Amino acid sequence: MKGRPQTAVFVISVAAEMAGMHPQTLRIYERKGLIEPYRTPGGTRRYSSSDIDRLTLIQELTNRGLNLEGVRQVLDLKNQVESLRAELDELRAEIALQRTETAQQISDVHKSYRREIVLRAEMAPQSKAVRNRPT
In-domain check, residue 62: yes
Say which residues have a Cβ less than 8 Å from residue 68's Cβ, sequence separation at least 6.
29, 32, 34, 62
Judge if pTM exceeds 0.75. no
pLDDT tens digits, 63-83: 999 999 999 999 999 999 999
Burial state string for 96-121 with b = 16 or more CB within 10 A and e = fewer than 16: eeeeeeeeeeeeeeeeeeeeeeeeee
Does residue 66 lie within any of the structural domains?
A: yes
132 or 30, higher pLDDT: 30
Q: Count structural domains, the chain.
A: 1
Task: Tell me what pLDDT residue 113 has.
Answer: 79
11, 43 contact by CB (below 8 A): no
Report if residue 130 sits inside a domain: no
Using one digit for the tens of pLDDT, what is the confidence trace for 14-51? 999 999 999 999 999 999 999 999 999 999 999 999 99
The residue segments making up the domain with residue 68 are 12-106
CA dihedral 61, 54, 78, 8 (to 10 degrees): -170
Q: Residue 18 is part of a domain; what is its CATH number?
A: 1.10.1660.10
Which H or E run contains 110? helix 68-111
